Amino acid sequence: MAGTELAILKGITLEIKSGESAAIIGASGSGKSTLLGLLAGLDEATAGTVTINGTELGALDEDGRARFRGQHIGFVFQSFQLLPALTALENVMLPLELQGQSKVAELAQNYLQRVGLGARTDHYPLQLSGGEQQRVALARAFASRPSILFADEPTGNLDTKTGEHIIDLLFELNREEGTTLVLVTHDNALAERCQRRLRLDGGELMQE
Amino acid sequence: MSITATKMLARDWRGGELGVLVMALVLAVGVVSGISAFTTRLQNALEQESHRFLAADLVVNSGRELPSAWLQEAQGKGLQHALTLQFPSMVYAGEDTMSLASIKAVSDTYPLRGEMTFSTEPFGPVLAAESGPAPGEVWLDSRLFALLDVAVGDQVAVGDAQFVVAAAARTEPDQGSAFYGYGPRVLMHYSDIPATGVVQPGSRAEYRQLYAGEAATLAAFNRWLKPQLEEGQRAVTVEEGQPGIGNALDRAERFLLLAGSLAVVLAGVAVALAARRFSERHHDYVAIIKSLGATSGTVNRLYGSSLLLLGGIATVLGCLLGWGIQALFFYLFAEQLPVQPGPSGMKPYAIGAVTSLTCLLCFAWPPLRRLGQASPLRVLRRDLPLENRQAINDYALGLLAVTLLMWWYSEDWQLTLAVLAGLALTVGLGFCLALTLLRGGRLLGMSAGSIWRLALAGLQRRGSANALQVVIFAMAIMMLLILLLVRTSLIDEWQAQLPDDAPNHFMINIGPEDVQAIEQLLRAENISSEPFYPMIRGRIMSIDGEELPSTDDMEEGRRQRESNFTWADTLPTDNRLVAGEWWPAGTEEPLVSLEEEFADRMDLEVGDTIGFLIGSQPLEARVASIRALQWQSMRPNFYLVFPPRALAAFPATFMTAFHLGATDKAFLNQFIRRFPTVTVIEMDIVVEQIRTIINQVSAAINLVLVVILAAGGLVLVAGVQASVDARVHESAILRALGAQRRLILGGLLIEFATLGLFAGLLATVAAELSVYILQTFVMEMSYTPTPWLWPVGIFSGALVIGTLGVFSCRRVVSTPPVAVLREL
């Protein structure tokens, strides 16, 4: 693609308050995932800044952003992104271990109990159903006590009924932990449950 | 973190690429340390073997009695010692029966190295003896039993002393090749010499002091001894082993080192391929843990420690495998090796460990290190390209590492360069050829049927990846072909040297009047023999009119020498002229043809004139030619050959060589009774020993070939696996679109077989080049082109790669496409 410049996101200004829940909705290819990648510090913007809790992500290098993600950010992905080599418990322990916390096993066990998987801690992802895998991912996301949680189409790979359970669980945990939630989805019903809804269309953001 | 590393390793084992990685490492360490330990121990054994031919580590000899003070000095230093005395004398059995014999008296401790053999009846089954005859007893050469008409238990006399015949003497470690000496052997105890009264001052006798012990002590003793040696006293240490077996084993050793070096290269490539695939498959893992807050340092530590752990396990397993390989070789050898091989020490295993470390650092680590740079954005976008930009640097690093390893390992830059030349040719030509041919294939394929279009489109789409794959396949195939070729020509040459009916007995001192009768007898008994060669003993006295010194002290240089002459009108079989010309049949000119090494030793060239003394008659002859001989052939060979007319005036005896099977040995008793003046020399034990050693070395070489084949196979598997993911993915899409099983498998078969075909072609060209260099410069054998290699190389390449490729991708037609697509 050398020589061709492609602007995916244009002139976006967005502020999300601590403890707030916001949904970014838009059609496929509207730039939702790109925006999420930038907000969460997974990617670098060619122009503009992202500031979380007073830290400007653009000023950090990749390793600095990785440390920042570890301390402040949690993720829930459409395709779960569990490590197949680790058990449910080990998957939840992983971010805690990366932060160098102690008593990680107890903490992880506690969160797995809260998502209703207390009895399946030794199972590997492939031995769990899609809904169960996503519950492990929720436990992993909240276990590190992030100040902000990004969820990328969290029900995209699940059937409607299972998806609703996951969403209930997500909002329940969010309420209990007081986490800021940024959710990307094309599902209007899901977006309805957030305090704010933002529509992304052709790279431009509109408040609904 | 370490718990996660071990966990990850354990679970990744199922991924397959980790298995290839570990197996490649284990095989590299195993082959390298195994071959190294084997050759170390073999060298060790050979050195001992050459000591065996001296029966000691150091021998002092003289025509007069040697000072006993030397023995005391040696004893004081903790060295072992033994004495022998050799002299010619008559042996009597009763009043009238007698024979001239070569008597050897030995002390209790003789031999210090090697062993003597005897049998309880003449020419009977051979037994090993710790020491020689007891005082009052003698062992007689087998043929003396017939000549003296005695049996074990009878009495014989030497000088004034009577002895009981206790056994038949068969071999002594230091009997050497001096069988043109005085006559049949009689062994007696050293303490019996005075009683015989035969050895007087001035008698013709050879006194020897034998010493053996620890190398450093012996060297010190030798330094102490050297200045005290008087004229006529000579100290001999082991300089080199037996040329015959030594030469064969030397080549075998080089072959093994070559095989080991190739194993290093192959394993290195397999490790690199496996690590690369491992790294590609782990990009997603890394993206996840990075999104969870892992820094690139954490990732590197995680994979670094995994790799170290893996390397440690593989090294230990590899050393065990290496120990097993050399133990297996020696298990095959044990019966045949004349001496027990010493321990190999830790060095071979250290070499194995260094190989493992180098493979890890130069082949496995570069692709894994790049994992640290993987983008966490892959958690959102799976289609992000992988980081592979530094691949060229990796290859350069790998090549350098391989070169250094090969050189360190073989300590032979010619060998290293020969293999490198083949490698360079493969890589350089390979990329150009593969890219051009694969592009040409596309144009050709446009109008072809559907399967072909699919296959050739696939080849073209992954052009440079395919070129790399072709080069890797070609490298593996090339190395296998090299080994196969060198092995085949080595073994062929050995077998040609010693066919099953190679002569194993010599007959000398045949009177001209007996020649016809003996020829008839041999024919009647169905014994195959060489032609009868005339033999005249004479002495070289002068060169170009200049009298030579008569000293026997120096091995090299011009001095008077005794030798056996023969005459011939045509160049003897197996002889090759290296200088001058062969004389026309019937020439009357006084000419002589010399053996190459003999001419070197005497510093003689074509055109020089040599003065001989035969009996008491002088003869002058001009050097007409110089010949190279095959000493290993066991056929009668002569240093000096004259035209028949030049020696017509001198009395000659005849000699021949013949083959006698182990079950036909009784023939000799009958023969010696009928022709008592003929001397028969048994070489069957030696010939058999050489043959068994060569057979065992051949077996070892074949075994190594199998191990290397496994290494080559691993590279092929790793190479195919490297591209399986992309191909399976594409095939799954085609499946989903309704493509038939036949179309997909056919397309894959053609795709992989085409790669294999190109690889086979490249490999064959490069193998011919490498083998040419190896044969000519390293093995010092003659090179002949091998036309059969071309079809074999090319079609086996296509067949093996095609089959492996289809086999590796087979799951795409056996699982629903959705499952494959979701998984990837």
ipTM attached to this prediction: 0.87
More reliable by pLDDT, A104 or B735: A104
Which pLDDT score is estimated for B488?
81
User: Which of A33, A66, A90 comes nearest B293 by C-beta?
Assistant: A66
Q: What is the pLDDT of residues B157-184, one digit of tens each?
A: 998 899 999 999 988 877 654 444 456 8
Find the residue in A nearest to B376 (Cα). A42
Alpha carbons B618 and B547: distance in angstroms, whole number:
13
Residue with tokens 């003793």: B221
| Residue A89: strand, helix, or coil | helix
Which pLDDT score is estimated for B83?
93
Single out the residue of A152, A153, A73, A82 nearest to residue A117, CA to CA: A82
Which pLDDT score is estimated for B97?
83
Query: Are both B314 and B348 inside the same structural domain?
Result: yes
Domain boundary among B360, B381, B411: B411
Which pLDDT score is estimated for B415?
78
Average pLDDT over residues A78-106: 85
Q: How confident is the model at residue B243 (pLDDT cuts 50, 70, 90)?
A: very low
A90: contact with B, CB 8 A cutoff: yes
Long-range residue pairs from A130-135, CB within 8 A, at least 24 positions apart, any chain: A130/A80, A130/A157, A130/A158, A130/A162, A131/A158, A131/A162, A131/A165, A131/A166, A133/A80, A133/A82, A134/A76, A134/A80, A134/A158, A134/A162, A134/A166, A135/A166, A135/A169
A33: contact with B, CB 8 A cutoff: yes
Residues of B in contact with A94 (CB under 8 A): 4, 289, 292
**CB contacts < 8 Å between A and B, how many?**
86
Contact B289 A94 (CB under 8 A): yes
Q: What is the pLDDT of residues B136-160, one digit of tens each?
A: 999 998 888 888 889 999 999 998 8
Q: What is the pLDDT of residues B314-337, one digit of tens each?
A: 999 999 998 988 888 778 766 655
Domain range summary for chain A, segments of one domain joined by +:
21-207
Contact A69 B296 (CB under 8 A): no
Which pLDDT score is estimated for B451?
64
Total structural domains in chain B? 4
Residues of B in contact with A85 (CB under 8 A): 7-8, 10-12, 285
Mean of the per-residue pLDDT values of chain B: 80
Contact B292 A90 (CB under 8 A): no
Alpha carbons B622 and B327: distance in angstroms, whole number:
56
User: Which of B7, B288, B292 comes nearest A70 by C-beta?
Assistant: B292
Burial class (CB in 10 A: 0-12, 13-18, 19+), A108: buried
Which pLDDT score is estimated for A1?
30
Q: How confident is the model at residue B7 (pLDDT cuts 50, 70, 90)?
A: low
Q: Is the pLDDT of residue B241 over 50?
A: no
Residues of A in contact with B377 (CB under 8 A): 37, 42-43
Alpha carbons A150 and A167: distance in angstroms, whole number:
13
Domain boundary among B218, B237, B256: B237
Percent of chain B with pLDDT over 90: 13
Contact A86 B7 (CB under 8 A): yes
Secondary element (H or E) of residue B271: helix B243-291
| Residue A138: strand, helix, or coil | helix
Which pLDDT score is estimated for B249?
65
Substitution target in B8, B291, B377 with the highest count of A β-carbons within 10 Å is B291
Q: What is the pLDDT of residues B786-816, one digit of tens each?
A: 888 889 888 988 998 888 888 887 777 776 6
Q: How confident is the model at residue B555 (pLDDT cuts 50, 70, 90)?
A: low
Q: Which CATH number does the domain A21-207 belong to among 3.40.50.300, 3.40.1210.10, 3.90.380.10, 3.30.1330.10?
A: 3.40.50.300
Query: Are both B482 and B611 inside the same structural domain?
Result: no
User: Domain range spanning residue B198?
Assistant: 58-237
B281 CA to chain A: closest CA distance, Å? 12
Query: Are both B582 and B674 inside the same structural domain?
Result: yes
Q: What is the pLDDT of residues B432-457, one digit of tens each?
A: 766 676 665 544 544 445 666 666 66
Contact A69 B288 (CB under 8 A): no
Which pLDDT score is estimated for B4?
61
Q: Are B475 and B765 in contact (CB under 8 A)?
A: no
Please tell me the least confidently modeled range out of B333-347, B509-523, B629-643.
B333-347
A85: contact with B, CB 8 A cutoff: yes
Query: Are both B151 and B227 inside the same structural domain?
Result: yes
Residues of B in contact with A36 (CB under 8 A): 380
More reliable by pLDDT, B383 or B535: B535
Average pLDDT over residues A24-28: 83
Which pLDDT score is estimated for B179?
42
Q: How confident is the model at residue B46 (pLDDT cuts 50, 70, 90)?
A: low
Contact B379 A86 (CB under 8 A): no
Query: Are both B672 and B753 inside the same structural domain?
Result: no
Which pLDDT score is estimated for B282?
82
Please tell me the least confidently modeled range out of B52-56, B181-185, B642-646.
B181-185
Residues of A in contact with B821 (CB under 8 A): none
Average pLDDT over residues B181-200: 84
User: Is the full-model pTM beyond 0.90?
Assistant: no
Contacts of B486 (CB under 8 A, 6+ apart): B255, B258, B771, B774, B775, B779
Residue with tokens 């030509």: B429
Which pLDDT score is estimated for B601?
82
Residues of B in contact with A81 (CB under 8 A): 284, 288, 291, 379
User: Which of A67, A82, A83 comes nearest B293 by C-beta?
Assistant: A67
The structure tokens listed for B530 are 């060489």
Q: Is the pLDDT of residue B684 over 80?
A: no
Size of chain B, expressed as the number of residues it contains? 824
Find the residue in A nearest to B290 (Cα). A66
Q: What is the pLDDT of residues B74-98, one digit of tens each?
A: 999 999 999 999 888 889 988 778 8
Q: How confident is the model at residue B108 (pLDDT cuts 50, 70, 90)?
A: very high
Q: What is the pLDDT of residues B622-631, one digit of tens each?
A: 999 999 877 6
Which pLDDT score is estimated for A109?
93
Q: Is the pLDDT of residue A40 over 50?
A: yes
Residues of B with CB under 8 A from a CB of A: 1, 4, 7-8, 10-12, 284-285, 288-298, 375-377, 379-381
Query: Are both B289 and B385 inside the same structural domain?
Result: yes
Which pLDDT score is estimated for B445?
45
Please tell me the least confidently modeled range out of B289-293, B616-620, B778-782.
B778-782
Q: Is the pLDDT of residue B386 over 70?
A: no
Give the phi and the psi of residue B454 in degrees, each rounded to 5: -60, -50
Which pLDDT score is estimated for B453?
63
Contact B381 A144 (CB under 8 A): no
Find the residue in A nearest to B14 (Cα). A85
Mean of the per-residue pLDDT values of chain A: 85
Query: Are both B197 and B259 inside the same structural domain?
Result: no
Query: Are both B560 and B450 inside the same structural domain?
Result: no
Query: Are both B92 and B228 inside the same structural domain?
Result: yes
Rounded to a whole number of angstroms, the distance between the first and last alpha carbons of chain B is 27
B12 CA to chain A: closest CA distance, Å? 7
Q: What is the DSSP letter of B192?
A: G
Q: How confident is the model at residue B134 (pLDDT cuts 50, 70, 90)?
A: very high
Q: Is the pLDDT of residue B18 over 70?
A: yes
Which pLDDT score is estimated for B242?
46
| Residue B522: strand, helix, or coil | helix
A84: contact with B, CB 8 A cutoff: yes
Contact A75 B294 (CB under 8 A): no
Q: Is the pLDDT of residue B491 over 70?
A: yes
Q: Is the pLDDT of residue B187 over 90?
A: yes
Which pLDDT score is estimated for B824?
46
Alpha carbons B731 and B713: distance in angstroms, whole number:
25
A68 CA to chain B: closest CA distance, Å? 7
Substitution target in A39, A73, A75 with the highest count of B β-carbons within 10 Å is A75
Which pLDDT score is estimated for B448?
47
Which pLDDT score is estimated for B762?
87
Query: Are both B161 and B292 inside the same structural domain?
Result: no
User: Which of B8, B293, B298 comes nearest A85 by C-beta?
Assistant: B8
Which pLDDT score is estimated for B616?
84
A153: contact with B, CB 8 A cutoff: no
Q: Is the pLDDT of residue B632 over 70?
A: no
Find the residue in B nearest to A141 (Cα). B292
- β-strands B137-141, B155-158 pairing: unpaired
User: Which of B7, B290, B379 comes nearest A90 by C-beta?
Assistant: B7
B284 CA to chain A: closest CA distance, Å? 9
Find the residue in B nearest to A157 (Cα). B822
Query: Are both B614 and B693 inside the same structural domain?
Result: no
Single out the residue of B620, B623, B677, B670 nearest to residue B654, CA to CA: B677
User: Which of B284, B298, B377 comes nearest A42 by C-beta?
Assistant: B377
Q: Is the pLDDT of residue B691 over 50?
A: yes
Q: What is the pLDDT of residues B400-441, one digit of tens each?
A: 887 888 787 777 787 788 888 888 887 788 777 666 766 655
| Residue B244: strand, helix, or coil | helix
Find the residue in A nearest to B286 (Cα). A83
Query: Are both B688 and B671 inside the same structural domain?
Result: no
Alpha carbons B474 and B756: distance in angstroms, whole number:
8
